[in-house]
Amino acid sequence: MTSHKITLIEGDGIGPEVVGATRQIIEATGVKIDWEVCQAGAEVFKKGLSTGVPQETIDSILRNKVALKGPLETPVGFGEKSANVTLRKMFETYGNIRPIQEIPGVATPYSGRGIDFVIVRENLEDLYAGIEHMQTPGTAQCLKLISRKGCEKIVRLAFEFARAEGRKKVQCATKANIMKLTEGLMKHTFEDVAKEYPDIEAYHIIVDNCAHQMVKIPEQFDVIVTTNMNGDILSDLGSALIGGLGFAPGANIGDTYSIFEAVHGSAPKYAGKNNINPTAVLLSGVMMLRHLKEFEAANQIEQALFRTFAIDKVLTRDAIGDKGAASTTQLTDTILRNMGKPYPDYKKREYKSLKLPHVPNVPDFVKAIERSVLGIDVFIESILPADDLGLNLERIAVDTSFTLKGISCRGVKVYPDSGLKLDPTDLFRCRFISHDKSDVEDAKIYDLLERITPHHRWTHLEKLNVFDGIQAFSKDHGED
Ligand code: NAP
């Protein structure tokens, strides 16, 4: 029998209890695992390491390629970035897979409806790149960066995951109706890639309706692929449908490395109280076993767990309240006693190994044959009325290569006056278009900025790119 080397991070708060229980149960399957126990999280931050992840832990994951991880806390005052996010980014685990499956014996308002779907969330891009700037003392900005390569990887992973689990439908949840370029890139990529998977039904759904449908008819979903922030919110909503965070497992999957962890955090108020639910981490361990192709061991754990809940009625406080609740160790012991016993209603899924998509690892994944710059958007901090700012910028632009096309505030046209009564802020987007609508050289942009600078405080600028004849920028509300 092969022995698997796995990096084990116990984590903070309730981590050691839930990971300890999971380790015992996995070992009871007889699968040979050589655990390399490593540190990360609160204690590491306290020692002054700002990432919260020591080099020994990084080296261990680099060697073993698979990790099972308890929740990590980001203690306030010790480093700004979450060690969880650092690990996901460091090992390029671009896919966050979060199954939402009804668990036998766990009563919820949806019990008996057969909820069984998976959220495949992009894990590295979007607003969670965490690139933020205060543009003015009163206006903050967070960059939402979405790449075609990132979309292609996650969409292909979703279709491959559907095939590995014998699922029939993939839905892509985006807000492409509003964010046509960023969320739209995910939608278009999904529509392109879907053609290569004719055996799987593919639909787009607007993300807010997806949330509504998840609550109304959750059993309609099979696989949902989505951008990072959408996926974060939808998956927490999903966990509530099946009993709460104590039951929601997850996996971070990349081309080379995989990190398995529950959706929940370190729940510090329950640390050491022996009353939390280890199921989410245990089911993350089940996902890890399937990743290691230990399909029988994974099925064995699921059956023992379902027996424990549905036949023995042993459940923790989060599932049934304080009265009659089992402790973490009582639940673990019952699962251990049930190992090897079948669960009568077990729906055995024919799992196949996940075929990881091979998306070329090149930085210029998409190349434009023709490209030009039509003008620039200059973002200006100002307390002037929009008309005064507009007239002033028109005067400044007189001898330059540009015409002021218009000004907007929070995406709505404020100059030329649209007649709307808007509540302005102190940041304006001022759109300058090149007179001859030809490709603008940088020298002309510098010239315009030099003329603006003595009169106004500009905060940043964006080039108005045209790629292969298509305008690659959004219009304001009210802009023609
Ligand atoms: P949390 O730790 O997930 O806990 C929120 C609530 O969920 C708990 O108070 C509890 O609800 C319930 N819960 C979570 N896990 C449970 C379990 N295994 N059994 C039973 N109930 C469970 O979220 P948080 O309090 O917002 O975050 C605490 C720390 O965890 C923070 O430092 C955060 O940064 C970190 N965090 C880490 C990860 C990760 O490692 N991936 C993820 C999220 C958060 P009741 O209060 O209703 O009983």
- Tens of pLDDT, residue by residue over 379-436, are 999 999 999 999 999 999 999 999 999 999 999 999 998 777 788 899 999 999 998 8
332 and 383 part of one domain: no
Q: Please indicate, yes or no, if residue 420 is contained in any of the structural domains.
A: yes
Final residue belonging to a domain, choices 315, 349, 383: 349
In total, how many domains does the chain have?
2
345 and 403 part of one domain: no
Point out the catalytic residue in the list 232, 318, 377, 476: 232
287 and 434 part of one domain: no
Q: What burial letters (b/e) apply to 81-93, b meaning 16+ CB within 10 Å?
A: ebbbbbbbbbbbb
306 and 375 part of one domain: no
29 and 87 part of one domain: yes
Tell me, yes or no, if the pTM score tops 0.95: no
Residue 77 has what pLDDT?
61
Query: Is residue 166 very low, low, confident or very high in pLDDT (cuts 50, 70, 90)?
Result: very high
249 and 111 part of one domain: yes
CATH assignment of the domain containing 441: 3.30.70.1570
d(CA 263, CA 130) in angstroms, rounded, equals: 20
Tokens found for residue 369: 């044959």
**Are 131 and 143 contacting, i.e. CB atoms less than 8 angstroms apart?**
yes
- Tens of pLDDT, residue by residue over 206-260, are 999 999 999 999 999 999 999 999 999 999 999 999 999 999 999 999 999 999 9
- Range(s) of the domain holding residue 455: 371-471
Portion of the chain with pLDDT greater than 70, in percent: 99
Final residue belonging to a domain, choices 317, 349, 381: 349
- Tens of pLDDT, residue by residue over 250-308, are 999 999 999 999 999 999 999 999 999 999 999 999 999 999 999 999 999 999 999 99
Final residue belonging to a domain, choices 298, 318, 349: 349
Note if 149 is an active site residue: no
Nearest CA to ligand 1 atom 6: 267
Note if 128 is an active site residue: yes
Q: Please indicate, yes or no, if residue 10 is contained in any of the structural domains.
A: yes
d(CA 71, CA 87) in angstroms, rounded, equals: 12
Nearest CA to ligand 1 atom 5: 267
Is the omega angle on the peptide bond into residue 416 within 30 degrees of 0, that is, cis? yes
Q: Please indicate, yes or no, if residue 451 is contained in any of the structural domains.
A: yes
Q: Is the pLDDT of residue 61 over 60?
A: yes
**Are 146 and 183 contacting, i.e. CB atoms less than 8 angstroms apart?**
yes
CATH assignment of the domain containing 77: 3.40.718.10
Nearest CA to ligand 1 atom 43: 265
